[in-house]
C-alpha cells in the first residue's frame, strides 16, 4: 500500500465511524436498530474497491471490538459480538469486499453491487447470528429485518450515485 492508499483507508474508516455515531433508530420488534453503517460499507466498497474497502470496514470493526465506542449508541467491545447485532457487524467486512468486486462503471451496476454486498451479504451473516442469539426461528428473524429494506434501498441509491461519480472522476 502506498501513502495514498493509507490516507484513503484512514479517511473512509473515519467516515464509517462518523456514520456509526449517528444515533440509532430502534425498531420495536427487532433487537437491531436502523443505522447508517451500511451506507459507509457501500461507499467504501464502491469508491475504494474490494481490498481497500474491506480494509476500511475491518479496521472499523477492529476499533469497535478493542473497546472504542464507535458503534451506534456508543457501544463497543467484544460483548457486542454476543448480542443480536454481532453478525451484522461482522458481515459488513465481506459486504464491503463484495461491493468492491461487483461495482461497475454505471450507476445501475453500482446500485446492484451496493445491494448485493451492503444488504444481501450483511443480512446473510446477520440473520443466522440473530437466530442463534435470540432464539427466533429463521423465518421470524428474516421477516423481522424486512423493515430495514426500504432504508437500505435508499442508502444503496445514494451510495451508487455518489460512488459512480467519484469512480468516474478517478479520484481514488
Residue 122 belongs to domain with CATH number? 1.10.1760.20
Q: Locate 65 and state its grid cell.
A: 471490538
Domain that holds residue 144: 3-169
Q: Give me the percent of the chain exceeding a pLDDT of 90.
A: 85
Q: Is 103 helix (H, G, I), strand (E, B) or coil?
A: coil
Highest mean pLDDT among 21-25, 30-34, 124-128: 124-128
Please answer whether residues 49 and 103 qualify as being in contact, where contact means their C-beta atoms are separated by less than 8 angstroms: yes
Q: Locate 54 and state its grid cell.
A: 474491506
pLDDT at 65: 96
Q: What is the arithmetic mean of pLDDT over 66-77?
A: 94
- Domains of the chain: total: 1
Using a CB cutoff of 8 Å and minimum separation of 24, what contacts does 77-82 make?
82/133
Beta bridge partners of 25: 34
Whether the predicted pLDDT of 171 surpasses 80: no
45: nearest Cα among 1, 109, 2: 109
81: nearest Cα among 71, 89, 93: 89
pLDDT at 143: 94
Amino acid at each position: 500500500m502506498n501513502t495514498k492508499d493509507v490516507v484513503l483507508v484512514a479517511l473512509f474508516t473515519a467516515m464509517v465511524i462518523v456514520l456509526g455515531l449517528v444515533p440509532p433508530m430502534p425498531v420495536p420488534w427487532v433487537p437491531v436498530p436502523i443505522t447508517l453503517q451500511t451506507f459507509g460499507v457501500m461507499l467504501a466498497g464502491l469508491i475504494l474497491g474490494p481490498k481497500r474497502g474491506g480494509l476500511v470496514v475491518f479496521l472499523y470493526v477492529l476499533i469497535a471490538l478493542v473497546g472504542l465506542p464507535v458503534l451506534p449508541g456508543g457501544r463497543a467491545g467484544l460483548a457486542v459480538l454476543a448480542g443480536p447485532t454481532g453478525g451484522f457487524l461482522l458481515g459488513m467486512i465481506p459486504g464491503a469486499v463484495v461491493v468492491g468486486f461487483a461495482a461497475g462503471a454505471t450507476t445501475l451496476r453500482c446500485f446492484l453491487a451496493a445491494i448485493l454486498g451492503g444488504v444481501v451479504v450483511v443480512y446473510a451473516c446477520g440473520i443466522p447470528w440473530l437466530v442463534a442469539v435470540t432464539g427466533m426461528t429463521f423465518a421470524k428473524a428474516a421477516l423481522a429485518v424486512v423493515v430495514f429494506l426500504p432504508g437500505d434501498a435508499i442508502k444503496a441509491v445514494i451510495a451508487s450515485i455518489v460512488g459512480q461519480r467519484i469512480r468516474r472522476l478517478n479520484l481514488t
